[in-house]
């Protein structure tokens, strides 16, 4: 938890523009963190992992490829 989040959880009233200027963050960041603490009541870290991967091979295609490789056997190509 950083200084901004600790102060928001503690209930310290902040001037967003002043805090942003003093600590080198954007005013938008201060407002986003204020809204999140207000809505959730506390600060919880969130995962940065993507919800999906658009380039992943679909599981049915993956299963078909594995089946085909097993049927074809070794062909000196790997």
Q: Which of 2, 1, 34, 3 is closest to 16 using CA atoms? A: 34
Q: State the pTM of this model.
A: 0.55
Helices (H), 1-78: 3-10, 16-23, 27-40, 59-72
Answer whether residue 77 shows pLDDT above 70: no
- Band of residue 40 on the pLDDT scale cut at 50, 70, 90: confident
Answer whether residue 53 shows pLDDT above 60: yes
Answer whether residue 1 shows pLDDT above 70: no
């Amino acid at each position: 938890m950083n200084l901004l989040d600790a102060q928001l959880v503690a209930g310290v009233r902040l001037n967003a523009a002043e805090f942003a200027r003093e600590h080198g963050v954007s005013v938008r960041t201060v407002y986003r963190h204020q809204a999140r603490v207000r809505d959730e009541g506390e600060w919880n870290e969130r995962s940065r992992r993507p919800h999906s991967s658009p380039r992943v091979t679909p599981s049915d295609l993956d299963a078909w490829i594995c089946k085909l490789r097993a049927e074809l056997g070794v062909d000196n190509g790997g």
